[in-house]
Structure 1
């Protein structure tokens, strides 16, 4: 990935966008710190599809969702018992 200082990305936005489309994701830096990434739309859509569903999406689905929210039996860790004296 090519890194662009924010001033260059702003001043040469068309070139920045063309580089993203032809070469892939482009990183934007501010004061030398990686701050943002410009990605081609096809990559973004692929990432969106691969992402886990949001809580809103889970709650609005018609299918059972308890298997995703409850850990399998015997897998949960328990706190050690404490004594009250």
Structure 2
């Protein structure tokens, strides 16, 4: 279970399934409070993040997203690979090719029509 879901489960005292939906009824106000509390992370100044990068990576894996600031402004969020894959997905070009091959409109010609362009004469 991702770290954010674990923190939500402990805060709200509910069991969360893998999809992230609440099974036990909890008031919406309480849910929002718990989500904000679980998602809030002390930001890392860039110099600290560079100096303690191993710890930053470990915390991203164990505790969830870690925010890095540059000149006091949030610049990036470091997330664990598992959470990244969950958020981003694993799509690649093979899925697009397969979807196009499975399309019922596969017989449509997608080749653009080319027109003959005039060529300039150049004196050498």
The TM-score normalised by the length of structure 1 is 0.59
Cα drift, residue 20 of structure 1: 1.0
Do the aligned partners of residues 58 and 14 (structure 1) sit closer, same or farther apart at CA in structure 2, a change above 3 Å counting? closer
Matched residue SS, 2:85: helix
- For 1:40, the equivalent position in structure 2 comes to 80
Q: Which has the larger radius of gyration?
A: 2
In the alignment of these two chains, the number of paired residues is 63
The TM-score normalised by the length of structure 2 is 0.42
Instruction: Give unpaired runs (5+ residues) of structure 2.
Output: 1-40, 106-124
Detail structure 1 runs of 4+ shifted over 2 Å in the superposition. Answer: 56-64
Question: Does residue 26 of the first structure (1) align with residue 34 of the second (2)?
Answer: no
Question: For residues 96 and 62 of structure 2, what CA distance do their matches in structure 1 show?
Answer: 39
Instruction: Give unpaired runs (5+ residues) of structure 1.
Output: 67-85
- Tell which has more relative contact order, 1 or 2 (C-alpha 8 A, sep 6+): 1
